[in-house]
Chains A and B, each alone.
Chain A
Amino acid sequence: QQQVKQSPQSLIVQKGGISIINCAYENTAFDYFPWYQQFPGKGPALLIAIRPDVSEKKEGRFTISFNKSAKQFSLHIMDSQPGDSATYFCAARTTGTASKLTFGTGTRLQVTL
Chain B
Amino acid sequence: GAGVSQSPSNKVTEKGKDVELRCDPISGHTALYWYRQSLGQGLEFLIYFQGNSAPDKSGLPSDRFSAERTGGSVSTLTIQRTQQEDSAVYLCASSLAMSYEQYFGPGTRLTVT
Contact = CB atoms under 8 A, between A and B. Distances in A.
Given A43-B4, A44-B91, A49 B45 contact: no
A102 interface: yes
A106 B101 CA distance: 19
B42 A103 contact: yes
B107 interface: yes
B45 A102 contact: yes
Contacts of A12: none
Interface in B3-33: 4, 31, 33
Interface residues of A, number: 25
B104 A6 contact: no
A102 B43 CA distance: 8
A105 B42 contact: yes
Contact of B101 (A4, A46, A100): A46
B65 to A, nearest CB: 15
Nearest to A108: B40
B102 A98 contact: no
A6 B42 contact: yes
B106 A42 contact: yes
A45 B56 CA distance: 23
Q: What are the 5 closest A-B residue pairs judged by CB atoms, nearest first?
A: A43-B104, A103-B42, A100-B45, A103-B43, A105-B42
